[in-house]
């Protein structure tokens, strides 16, 4: 709590604006990640901290998602993936789940009518067990994907009712069926063909360079288990609704200072 108020004081003194200017300049002079992913965590704790309802906190979180995507694209990052709702989250109590689904509905409606989608040519794809979502949300998702399917300047992937384990199991089933049907030989199944069956196969760069998780939790929670094999991980204590552009820039700078070895 103390650090939060210190940040507010510094912002009021324009210290943050000056720091952000030079930090952004530094980051843009170095190699940027092509694909950044976010695990959006901390909405409920944000509501407790500020004494607001969970619904209000999730609404702030939706607006923050739009801002974060814009910050990334402004820097030159081409792909952004957002982990909004895990498959396990579907088993939360009905009251909490209703709030989360309403925030997804809110975000989807905003996305459908956002002029920046066509202006910047943003391809939007939703991945996960979409069939488990309410009909009206599924309809919104369909409209968004149809509207943006031919855009290829930037990519936003939204993970809803998603499980990395479930995704891999489905790939195994699909490959097993192809072997059974005689379409491929079992010896044809190698590591390099698996990405062609993953839910991220629509992306030019399906393997994230950087995974950012907010709220202080330090785990992937089933997020892109195959794709994130060599991703750099960055964990921050900042709650998702309170995530700032400076936090993004710090994460990217941290990424730029690492030497990626890809297991070698």
Question: How many whole angstroms separate alpha carbon 176 and alpha carbon 189?
Answer: 10
Q: Around Cβ 49, how many Cβ atoms within 10 Å? A: 15
On whether the CB atoms of residues 239 and 9 are closer than 8 A, the answer is no
φ/ψ region of 210 (left if φ > 0, alpha if ψ in -120 to 50, else beta) reads beta
> Which DSSP helix (H) or strand (E) runs through 98?
helix 94-112
Residue of 176, 258, 221, 199 lying closest to 38 (CA atoms):
221
Q: What are phi and psi of 225, to 5 degrees?
A: -60, -40
Does the annotation count 89 as an active-site position? yes
Q: What is residue 192's DSSP assignment?
A: G
Q: Which is nearest to 260 in space by CA: 226, 213, 210?
A: 210
For residue 23, what are its two tokens? 């930090």
The helices-and-strands tally (H runs, E runs) of the chain is 9, 6
- Which residue in the list 89, 114, 170, 254 is annotated as catalytic? 89
- Which residue in 85, 157, 81, 83 sits closest to 124, CA to CA? 157
The Cα angle at residue 136 between residues 135 and 139, in degrees rounded to 5: 85
Please give the backbone phi and psi of residue 155, each rounded to the nearest 5 degrees, phi first.
-130, 130
Catalytic member of 41, 209, 242, 247: 41
Q: What's the rounded Cα separation, in Å, for the pair 223 and 219?
A: 9
Q: Provide the annotated active-site residues.
A: 41, 89
């Amino acid at each position: 709590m103390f650090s939060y108020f210190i940040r507010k004081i510094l912002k009021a003194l324009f210290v943050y604006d000056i720091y952000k200017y030079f930090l952004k300049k530094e980051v843009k002079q170095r190699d940027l990640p092509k694909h950044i992913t976010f695990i959006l965590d901390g909405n409920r704790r944000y509501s407790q901290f500020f004494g607001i309802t969970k619904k209000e906190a999730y609404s702030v979180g939706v607006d923050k998602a739009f801002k974060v995507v814009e910050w990334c694209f402004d820097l030159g990052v081409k792909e952004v993936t957002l982990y909004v709702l895990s498959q396990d989250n579907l088993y939360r109590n009905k009251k909490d789940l209703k709030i989360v689904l309403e925030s997804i509905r809110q975000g989807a409606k905003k996305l459908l009518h956002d002029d920046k989608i066509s202006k910047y040519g943003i391809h939007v794809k939703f991945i996960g067990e979409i069939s488990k979502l309410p009909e009206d949300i599924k309809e919104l998702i369909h409209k968004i994907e149809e509207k943006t399917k031919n855009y290829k300047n930037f990519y936003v992937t939204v993970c809803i009712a998603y499980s990395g384990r479930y995704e891999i199991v489905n790939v195994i089933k699909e490959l097993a069926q192809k072997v059974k049907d005689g379409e491929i030989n079992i010896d044809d199944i190698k590591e390099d063909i698996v990405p062609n069956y993953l839910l991220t196969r629509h992306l030019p760069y399906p393997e994230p360079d950087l995974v950012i998780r907010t709220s202080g939790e330090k785990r992937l929670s089933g997020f892109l288990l195959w794709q994130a094999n060599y991703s750099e991980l960055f964990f921050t204590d900042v709650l998702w609704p309170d995530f700032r552009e400076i936090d993004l820039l710090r994460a990217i700078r941290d990424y730029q200072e690492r030497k990626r070895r890809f297991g070698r």
